[in-house]
């Protein structure tokens, strides 16, 4: 049994993450080396939304190119990691025991919220990957409880990764037309720094209510999809240390911060 795997929250940013010459790319390239090797990976992606928790059960999940208008070579990229139908089913049962409805989708593949960062973290694509949906019609507290339902899997060798973005206002991003390494506007950095501080000091009530309580919360997240994975990862942490693993900005608008919860992680 692997002891001490954390739950993580990472910001995956643009589908061009692997090609962008940005600090977050280098951070993710070294992150896998800072962790014990997991037996399997569970990714909660901002790009997989369903009314109830849904787990992917495909034995060989396809690489989903769920984006438009990017360089042609990006659509040829594949991440051929195996799936784990057995793990998906046992997780479904654990979620149901915690009072949720849940199901396994037998064919769904890995969207870019999963495979784009995993290409950098575990480029060999040799660790089984299961995805879990968010539910945009549910509350932050609901997602936190969903994470708690799966916390014990960390001690069974499963690396739980919430994949979203600490800030994510695409309309502002496209309107501003900022460069890759542009400085963040005050309304981005003020909110992101506030979330960082509340997260690290253990003020989970504030974190779960960040969109209403945090400065410029709804400006940074006009829709909640990219912050909901943070709440699942936080719920899966149980007790233990918290660490801000990475802090940077891409395209001015996207804060790419990453956290580890529940176990010590060396800086990547």
Decide if 142 contacts 135 (C-beta within 8 A).
yes
For residue 69, the model assigns a pLDDT of 84
Ordered domains of the chain (ranges, CATH)? 7-261 (3.40.830.10)
For residue 1, the model assigns a pLDDT of 33
Q: Which of 9, 59, 40, 44 is nearest to 131 (CA)?
A: 44
* Stretches in the chain below the pLDDT threshold 70: 1-3, 264, 266-268
pLDDT digits (tens, 9 = 90+) for 178-192: 899 999 999 999 999
Is pTM beyond 0.85 here? yes
Q: Determine how β-strand 258-261 pairs with β-strand 7-11.
A: antiparallel
Q: Determine how β-strand 242-246 pairs with β-strand 258-261.
A: antiparallel
The two tokens of residue 153 are: 């899997």
pLDDT digits (tens, 9 = 90+) for 107-162: 999 999 999 999 999 999 999 999 999 999 999 999 999 999 999 999 999 999 99
């Amino acid at each position: 049994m692997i002891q001490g795997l954390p739950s993580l929250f990472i910001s995956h940013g643009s589908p061009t993450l692997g090609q962008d010459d940005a600090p977050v790319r280098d951070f993710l390239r070294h992150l896998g080396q800072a962790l014990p090797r997991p037996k399997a990976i569970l990714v909660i992606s901002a790009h997989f939304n369903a009314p109830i928790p849904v787990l992917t059960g495909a034995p060989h999940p396809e690489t989903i190119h769920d984006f438009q208008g990017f360089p042609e070579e990006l659509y040829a990229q594949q991440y051929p990691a195996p799936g784990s139908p057995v793990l998906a089913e046992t997780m479904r049962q654990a979620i149901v025991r915690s009072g949720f409805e849940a199901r396994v989708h037998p064919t769904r593949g890995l969207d870019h919220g999963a495979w784009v960062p995993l290409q950098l973290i575990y480029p060999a694509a040799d660790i089984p990957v299961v995805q879990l949906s968010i539910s945009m019609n549910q509350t932050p507290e609901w997602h936190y409880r969903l994470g708690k339902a799966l916390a014990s899997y960390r001690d069974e060798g499963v690396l739980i990764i919430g994949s979203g973005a600490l800030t994510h206002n695409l309309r502002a991003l496209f309107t501003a037309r900022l460069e890759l390494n542009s400085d963040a506007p005050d309304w981005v950095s003020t909110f992101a720094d506030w979330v960082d501080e509340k997260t690290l000091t253990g003020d989970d009530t504030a974190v779960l209510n960040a969109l209403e309580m945090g400065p410029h919360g709804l400006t940074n997240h006009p829709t909640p999809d990219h912050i909901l994975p943070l709440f699942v990862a936080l719920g899966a942490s149980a007790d233990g240390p918290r660490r801000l693993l990475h802090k940077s900005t891409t395209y001015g608008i996207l804060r790419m911060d990453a956290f580890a919860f529940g176990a010590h992680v060396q800086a990547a």
